[in-house]
Amino acid sequence: MAILIDPPAWPAHGTLWSHLVSDTSTDELHAFARLLGFPRRSFDLDHYDVAAANFDRAVALGALPVTGREVVLRLRESGLRVRQVDRDAVTPLRRRQYLHEQWCVLGVQLGVASTAVDVWRKLGDDLLVRWNEPHRRYHDERHLEDVLLALDHLETRGERISPATLLAAWFHDAVYTGATGDDERASAALASSALTALGLQSDLVDEVRTSIVATIPDTDAGVSGPRSGPRARPGTPVAHLLDADLWIFASSPSRYAEYAAAVRSEYAHVPDADFAAERARILEAYLDRPSVYVTAAARHLWESRARANVAAEVARLWS
């Protein structure tokens, strides 16, 4: 049983990177990465990427320095290795596994009674069915994962993410027909009904419902993309949910391109010129804000990349 790290040798983003792995279990690896303050988003199917600046700290905490070849060998022997050729097939399986795990953890945090565990699990399964409805292109299971990973990232930067925020994340697009405003209100109603039936406290249910309704865009324009809800006080469940919902703005250029294409697909019924004009107007409203994100942690992590991505899309839409 060991956590292993190879020398910083892979260049990217102006530094060199190591691979951090476990030769026993991914649970052990996640726990060690948490000690280092790494967000779950840094996990890449069978390893965490570690910048050269964090190499010595990882070793000091107990990671065993080995060669790159040894890392691959030990991963292969443990059965944890994910080959490059298998990545496309493994990624959705790991996403679903992560979502199931997070739902179970949330149930424990909420103190769901042992007699209600089966009901809790069924609710999670029912939500995932909703998130995988065939008409969805962007507002799907991958988006749910992105929101939960963004909340986890904020937590590693000192934000306290409440169970109410996590529940709101799971329910916030549970109803999605493309009817802006109606979808959010229907999702809030679904959350209220399901959580009340489970016997959760009324103030918690109210907080979840309020957070979901707050994701209704400022305008009822149809080409809404992510949410542009009202300003919220930093540190509140509403602020955390709004910031996490907008994480996609700060994704890599390739991921952002996939997101933009998925949003266009969800609004395929809208003529190109109308879509471009409305989408550009909404995105420009984000750029006109003093900041895209509410919390200081989100601004530090994502603001500059988000503005660059959004500005680039606006330029493409007007071209």
Q: Which residue has the tokens 């990671």?
A: 63
Residue 220 scores a pLDDT above 60: no
Query: Token pair of 20, please?
Result: 């951090």
Longest dimension (CA), the chain: 59
Say which CATH superfamily domain 89-318 falls into: 3'5'-cyclic nucleotide phosphodiesterase, catalytic domain (1.10.1300.10)
Predicted local confidence at residue 23, as pLDDT? 94
- CA separation for the pair 99, 105 (Å, rounded): 10
- Exposure string of 69-108, with b = 16+ CB inside 10 Å and e = fewer, is eebeebbeeeebbbeeeeeeeeeeebeeeebeebbeebbe
Lowest mean pLDDT among 115-129, 227-241, 262-276: 227-241
Percent of the chain at pLDDT above 70? 95
> pLDDT tens for residues 205-216?
999 999 999 988
> What single-letter DSSP state applies at residue 176?
-
pLDDT value of position 221: 44
Single-letter amino acid code for the residue at 171: F
232: alpha, beta or left, given left = phi > 0 and alpha = psi -120 to 50? beta
* Residue keyed to tokens 């010129």: 273
Provide the residue ranges of all domains of the chain, joining segments of one domain with +. 3-82, 89-318
For residue 230, pLDDT over 60 is answered with no
Token digits of residue 44: 């890449």
Q: Where are the alpha helices (DSSP H) in the chain?
A: 26-35, 55-60, 68-78, 87-110, 117-131, 141-156, 163-171, 182-197, 202-213, 237-245, 253-266, 272-288, 296-318
Mean of the per-residue pLDDT values for the chain? 93
Q: Is the pTM of this model over 0.95?
A: no
